[in-house]
Structure formats: structure tokens, C-alpha cells
Structure 1
Amino acid sequence: MGARIYLHYPGNDEAVAVASGFSWGACLLGFIWALSKKMWFAAFVMLAVNVILFGMGLWGETADLIGLVLSILFAVACGAYGNRWHRWTLEKRGYVVV
């Protein structure tokens, strides 16, 4: 776990802490983690990818193994980029780095 980056909305005294580094919440919980952070588009994309990968598992044994591997890779990618996506979302909403 890396250092935290603090962002605040102009005119508001409260700061939001965003961790840097790997996000276990994004890795293990996926779109539920994104919904808890109010990252609506990211949650929709994560859910869509998970449904597609789940659907691959219904096609047969080989596709099931490929779907499992791709699901694990997608979860690791979400964990690696989750905190960056959260910071980017907050910055797009007008938050600035303190």
C-alpha cells in the first residue's frame, strides 16, 4: 500500500483520501467497489465485462477455463488501476489535490 493522496472540493473543508498503489477492494469486489465510490461508468463497464466473461463459461469446458483466466486477469487489472480511476473520477468532479 502506497501513500495517500488527499483531494478536496473547493469551498468544502473536508478532504477525501485516495490511496495509491494496488486496490484490494477493486480486485475482490469489482463493480460493487466502484458503486461504493460513486464511479457509475466504471461500475457499468466492470459489470458488463464480468457478465461477458461469465457467459464465456457457458460455452464449454475450454471456454470456461479461458473465461476463468480472463476473469482473474481482469480482477488484477481492476486492482492495479482502481485507485487511479477513483482519483481521476474525483478530479473530473472538480476536486483538487491538496
Structure 2
Amino acid sequence: MGEKIYLRYPGKDETVAVATGFSWGACLLGFVWALSKKMWFAAFVMLAINLLLFCSGLWGETADLIGLVLSVLFGIACGMYGNQWHRWTLEKRGYVVL
């Protein structure tokens, strides 16, 4: 299990813990995970990419296999970078690292 980075919004007593390392939630749940973290733009992008990969699988047997491989790779990429995206989103909203 990775460490956690704590961020606080100045002027409020609100602290958010963001894990470091691989995010299983982002890997397995994708845009639903992003919605739960209130990362609206990331959720929209993840949903759009998932829909494109799904639609590419409708074009034939070979495209279906390629779409599956790309979907798995996209899920792994989301898992690898999900926590970094979450931290970046919070920092853009004004949170600072403690």
C-alpha cells in the first residue's frame, strides 16, 4: 500500500488524503471513480475514450480484440496516473500540500 499525501484547503478545516501509487479504483471503475472524486473533466475524457474503444469493437473480430487490448491498457494507465490526477485536480481547486 502506498503512502498518502494530505492536502488542506486554506481557511477551512478540511483535509483530504490522496494515496500515492497505483489506484485500483481508477483501473477497475474508470470514469465512475473520477465522478466519485468530483473530477468532472477527467470523467468526461475517460468516458469518451471508453465509448470510442467500445465502438471500435463493433467493427469486426480483429477490431474487437484490438479494442479489448486497448481498453485493458487504458485501464492500467488510469490506475497508474489516477491518484496523480486527483492530487492535481485538488491543487487546481486551491488545496495545498501539508
TM-score scaled by structure 1? 0.99
Structure 1 residue identity aligned to 2:16: V
Q: Which residue of 2 aligns with 1:91?
A: 91
1: CA distance, partners of 2:12 / 2:19: 20
2: CA distance, partners of 1:66 / 1:86: 29
- How many pairs align? 98
Q: Which residue of 1 aligns with 2:9?
A: 9
Q: Which residue of 2 aligns with 1:32?
A: 32
Runs of 4+ with deviation above 2 angstroms: none
C-alpha distance after superposition, 1:19-65 (max 9, x if no partner): 00000000000000000000000000000000000001100000000
Structure 1 residue identity aligned to 2:13: D
1: CA distance, partners of 2:76 / 2:12: 34
How far 1:12 moved relative to its partner?
A: 1.0
2: CA distance, partners of 1:60 / 1:37: 35
Cα RMSD (Å):
0.4
Report percent identity of matched pairs.
Answer: 82
Are positions 1:42 and 2:42 aligned together? Answer: yes
TM-score scaled by structure 2? 0.99
Which runs of 5 or more structure 1 residues have no equivalent in the other structure? none
Which runs of 5 or more structure 2 residues have no equivalent in the other structure? none
Q: Secondary structure of 2:58's partner?
A: coil
How far 1:14 moved relative to its partner?
A: 2.1
Q: Secondary structure of 2:27's partner?
A: helix
Q: Which residue of 2 aligns with 1:52?
A: 52
